[in-house]
Amino acid sequence: MLRWSITFIIIALIAGVLGFGGIAGTAAGIAKILFFVFLVLFIISLLTGRAKV
d(Cα 39, Cα 42) in Å, to the nearest integer?
5
pLDDT digits (tens, 9 = 90+) for 10-51: 888 898 888 888 888 888 888 889 889 999 989 998 888 876
24: Cβ contacts below 8 Å, ≥ 6 apart: 12, 13, 15, 16
Q: What is the pTM of this model?
A: 0.69
Q: Tell me what pLDDT residue 36 has.
A: 92
User: How do the domains of the chain map onto residue ranges?
Assistant: 2-52
